[in-house]
Chains A and B, each alone.
Chain A
């Protein structure tokens, strides 16, 4: 079907294949996550492999190298830097083996490609101390074997070798439950192996430029598998990962030391840079020990019992860990427990605590922007007093920062709701601005002193109502002031009022406010949310 079937793999083709595998893995990430029961059912295998692959691709996407060896080397380095989790680390070794095998080559013939796959599998086996069959290791080995078989003969082609590798991986994945009891019991195939199959399929898709029909393993029973695994006594311990930077690092020595402190140990890399992954009950000792060998980078300690629990709870959690299709991150400034949860639930990656009286610094926002795993970030100040500090952030980072000048919580919520992971940053910013402007904000609070504002005389302790930051009404009662404000906005042009209840609002005050709105404006839908914000007993969004 495809024209111009490639006869060799050069740098640009390998680069495209990796990019293709990344998007295919991104599309299937959740599926891989759900299969994850071994060695720890924390349901993040897909995410870890994706982040590892992303890191590999990060380094190659700007390269125009014509030689396959250069692209492979960049991918190898990038994946080692970004490797996360067991499968991610093994994946980085697969890249490393591949890179070694193609060293000095401008392009690969079908037999050379197959040989590189075989060497990639060997490297993966070498990285693991006690190789377990029925895992990604088995799958990469079988992929290599199938590729080698397909490379024999005059008719061997690059797509043919790729297809054989992908098919070999697929067949091996289907056999994993017969090799590993935990998979058999859970009724799933191996997640890491499946992840590798997806990566190979993604490459094949690119090379073939054709649609794939995928095997029917999609009906594995993921949820049941996660549920079935009880938490062992003492928990799963901590997943501890870091890089050691130094000179002449002795990997064998480090590995033997780390192995005494935990399991699922992976120690891989070069004498100058070693990646360590271990599941341990005592991360502090591991870190101290490793610190003796060199400088520690990218330290990451995760409580796996919590991770496991999170999976079980995932029906209610809105995970933010899924990398987004558009590569755009979200940072919002907000305070109040409920509001923080709301913004998180809507997909905001990082919340900077702050608001009306706790204005966050430019540095706070910069740190948040830098911590988001995306190169483009939309920043929502959600308060008029924060906008200026937020504006500075863009000039201080290499990332592309877009500010949507939200001046209130309702504007912020409207903006986040308008965000779509399928749209570009620019399109999103336009949509978010439009939505934020469409929403009217009513805030009610008490005057802290006697004053005069916007032609109104205000006494200390009065209830005051602001529409879009402007003082419009005073009174003695929240319900009365809110009703006046809604009347001024003209309820006929609106459908929905969302009430964000503040920390200081009592149940009684909330009930009175709700019934006042419903009886005065029966056509408006009213939704109450626990905002937990300070200073404003009620913030209302009118849209």
Chain B
């Protein structure tokens, strides 16, 4: 099993299932950091707050993927490699090219069409399957059910990264509006824009209610753990029997969300 660092895969799952995580990169000017390898999330957001220029991000190279696949080929017969949506990053493409470079080792590269912990959920689904074919089918069936509902504290970061424009989010420059964005169908849609953070959080939960039932759900945050924990506690009450993990947003994704972002990520049933 291979994924990339934007899956926000909890360390515990990585160790339990033996999942390889290929890091994307964050660039502060000419300095390059591998996501969660050369830089922790805490270090990243600290630097983001003080950096004069905004960082940029880049996908792993095909060569880096080839290296990983080559190493896995010594132990395994085949591999499933699940990655951040191709509408957002060139990572899956790099994985595909990397896999071609390693002859005789079948690699099923899957474009998850999404980002963050839904990819980790897909990895877990795959890891619990017995065969490559079963894993691939189980994951592919779920790709279109992945959703990321994000509350950004500001549109500044995602706008600089070019993934969302103020025009599509219908966010002007005057009022301090909190955009609610949904990653769905290979797009980033503007679901709502709300004046205050507390209302935006309520709106997020309302939106999730309209999407029930869900197979998996998690609460993601960038430097907003307390709020994330509160939301998760509420959801656990509302959805008995549902494990609602809280996860941190990594450096690469954090470059585009900025600090204080919150996310409700889930797989519809």
Instruction: Give me the interface of A with B, judged by CB distance under 8 Å.
Output: 27, 30, 213-214, 216, 218-219, 222-223, 314-322, 338, 341-342, 344-347, 413-414, 417-422, 495-496, 498, 525, 527, 529, 543
Q: Among the listed A30, A318, A322, A417, which residue makes an inter-chain contact with B195, where contact means beta carbons less than 8 Å apart? A: A417
B195 touches A219 (CB 8 A): no
Whether A318 touches B166, Cβ cut-off 8 Å, given contacts A420-B191, A421-B190, is yes
Contact of A346 with B198 at beta-carbon distance under 8 Å, contacts A216-B90, A218-B87 already known:
no
Is the C-beta of B230 less than 8 angstroms from some C-beta in chain A? no
| A344 touching B194, Cβ below 8 Å | no
Are A346 and B172 interface neighbours, CB within 8 A?
yes
Q: A422 — which chain B residues lie within 8 A by C-beta? A: 189-191
A314-B87 Cα distance, complex, nearest whole Å: 22
Give bound CA distance, A436 to B168, whole Å. Answer: 23
Q: Is the CB of A213 within 8 A of B167?
A: no
What are the 5 A-B residue pairs with the smallest beta carbon separation, nearest first? A345-B172, A347-B170, A319-B167, A318-B172, A342-B174
A27 touches which one: B172, B187, B190 (CB < 8 A)?
B187
**Chain A's nearest CB lies how many Å from the CB of B152?**
15
10 A–B contacts, CB within 8 A, in A order: A213-B86, A222-B162, A317-B166, A320-B167, A338-B174, A345-B172, A346-B170, A346-B172, A347-B170, A417-B195
Give residues 64-115 of B contacting A (CB, 8 Å): 86-87, 90, 93, 111
**Contact partners of A319 in chain B: CB under 8 A:** 165-167
B-chain residues with CB within 8 Å of residue A222 when the two chains form the complex = 162
A318 and B177: CB pair below 8 A?
A: no
State how many residues of chain B have any CB contact under 8 Å with chain A: 30
Cβ contact within 8 Å between A419 and B175:
no
Q: Which B residues are CB-close (under 8 A) to A529?
A: 174-175
Can you name the residue of chain B whose Cβ is closest to the Cβ of A345?
B172
- The CA-CA distance from A322 to B170 in the complex, in Å, is 10
Q: Does B42 contact A (CB under 8 A)?
A: no
Q: Do B189 and A417 touch across chains, with their CB atoms under 8 A apart?
A: no
Task: Given A319-B167, A495-B198, A525-B196, decide whether A342 and B111 contact each other with a Cβ distance below 8 A.
Answer: no
Are B168 and A322 in contact, CB atoms less than 8 angstroms apart?
yes
Q: Is B176 an interface residue (CB 8 A)?
A: yes
- Measured between alpha carbons, how far is A317 from B167 in the docked complex, in Å? 8
Are A315 and B175 in contact (CB-based, < 8 A)? no
Residues facing A in B149-208 (CB within 8 A) are: 159, 162, 165-168, 170-177, 187, 189-196, 198-199
Q: Give Cα A495–Cα B198 distance, bound, in whole angstroms.
A: 9
Contacts of B173 in A (CB 8 A): 316-318, 345
CA separation between A213 and B96, bound complex, in Å?
13
Minimum CB–CB distance from B108 to chain A (whole Å) comes to 14
A27 to B174, alpha carbons, bound, how many Å? 26
- How far does the Cβ of A224 sit from chain B's closest Cβ, in whole Å? 11
Chain A residues near B192: list those with CB within 8 A. 418, 420
- Do A322 and B167 contact each other (CB < 8 Å), given the known contacts A213-B86, A495-B199? yes
Instruction: Report the Cα distance A275→B170, complex, angstroms.
Output: 33
| Residue in contact with B175 in the complex, picked from A30, A219, A320, A413, CB distance below 8 Å | A413
A316, B111: Cα distance in complex, Å: 33
* Contacting pair B167 A318 (CB below 8 A): yes
Min Cβ gap B95→A in Å is: 12
A residues near B172, Cβ cutoff 8 Å: 318, 341-342, 344-347
Q: How far is the CB of A177 from chain B (nearest CB, A)?
A: 18
With both chains docked as a complex, state the minimum distance between the C-beta of A317 and any C-beta of chain B, in angstroms: 8
Question: Bound state CA distance, A342 and B87, in angstroms?
Answer: 31
Residues on the A chain within 8 Å of B175, using CB: 342, 345-346, 413, 417, 498, 527, 529
Contact residues in B for A315 (Cβ distance below 8 Å): 159
A307 to B49 alpha-carbon distance, docked (Å): 34
**Listed residue (B168, B187, B195) with the most chain A CB atoms within 10 angstroms of its CB:** B195
The interface residues of chain B lying within 8 Å CB-to-CB of A219 are 90
Q: A318-B166, A345-B175, A529-B175 are in contact. Are A213 and B111 (CB under 8 A)?
A: yes
Once A219-B90, A345-B175, A413-B175 are accepted as A-B contacts, the answer to whether A30 and B191 lie under 8 Å apart by CB is: no
Name the distance in Å between B125's Cβ and chain A's nearest Cβ: 20
> Which residues of A are found within 8 Å of B194, using beta-carbon distances?
417
A322-B168, A420-B190 known; 4 other A-B pairs, CB under 8 Å?
Answer: A30-B165, A345-B174, A417-B193, A417-B195
Which of the residues B90, B162, B171, B190 comes within 8 Å of A318, measured between beta carbons? B171
**A276 to B199 CA separation, bound complex (whole angstroms):** 51
Bound state CA distance, A216 and B192, in angstroms? 30
Point out the residues of chain A lying under 8 angstroms from B167, CB to CB: 30, 318-322
Q: How far is the CB of B29 from chain A (nearest CB, A)?
A: 16
> Who on chain A is nearest to B87 by CB?
A218
Inside 8 A of A216's CB, which chain B residues have their CB?
Answer: 86, 90, 93
Residues of B near A341 (CB, < 8 A) are 172, 174
Closest Cβ–Cβ distance, residue A153 to chain B (whole Å) = 29
Shortest Cβ gap from B55 to chain A (Å):
16
Closest chain B CB from A101 CB (angstroms): 33
Cα distance, A79 to B264, chains bound together (Å): 43
Nearest Cβ in chain B — how far from A328, in angstroms?
A: 12
Alpha-carbon distance between A108 and B198 when the two chains are bound, in angstroms: 57
Does the CB pair A496–B195 fall under 8 Å?
yes
Whether B191 and A223, one on each chain, are in contact in the complex, defined by CB atoms closer than 8 angstroms, is no
The distance in angstroms between the C-alpha atoms of A214 and B93, with both chains bound, is: 10
**In the complex, which residue of chain B has the Cβ closest to the Cβ of A541?**
B195
Task: Report Cα–Cα, A6/B192, bound state, in Å.
Answer: 39
* Residue ID in chain B nearest A438 by CB atoms: B199
Q: Are A419 and B170 in contact (CB under 8 A)?
A: yes
Smallest CB separation, A491 vs chain B (Å) = 14
A30 neighbours in B (Cβ, 8 Å): 165, 167-168
How far is the CB of B97 from the nearest CB of chain A, in Å?
10
CA distance A316 to B156 in the complex (A): 10
Q: Which residues from B are CB-within-8-Å of A316?
A: 173
Q: How far is the CB of A195 from chain B (nearest CB, A)?
A: 18
Question: Cβ of A214 and Cβ of B170 under 8 Å apart?
Answer: no
CB distance from B109 to the nearest CB of A (A): 11
Question: Closest residue of chain B to A543, judged by CB?
Answer: B195
Shortest C-beta distance, B144 to chain A (Å), equals 8
Residues of A within 8 A of B165 (CB): 30, 314, 319
Q: How far is the CA of A276 from the CA of B162 in the complex (A)?
A: 34
The residues of A that contact B171 with a CB separation of less than 8 Å are: 318, 345-346
Q: Which residue of A lies closest to B170 (CB)?
A: A347
Chain A min CB distance to B248 (Å): 27
B196: contacting residue among A218, A421, A496, CB under 8 A? A496
Contact residues in A for B166 (Cβ distance below 8 Å): 317-319, 345
- Smallest beta-carbon distance B206→chain A, Å: 12
Bound: A213/B162 CA distance, A: 21
B180 CB to nearest chain A CB (Å) = 9
Q: Which residues of B contact A413 (CB under 8 A)?
A: 175
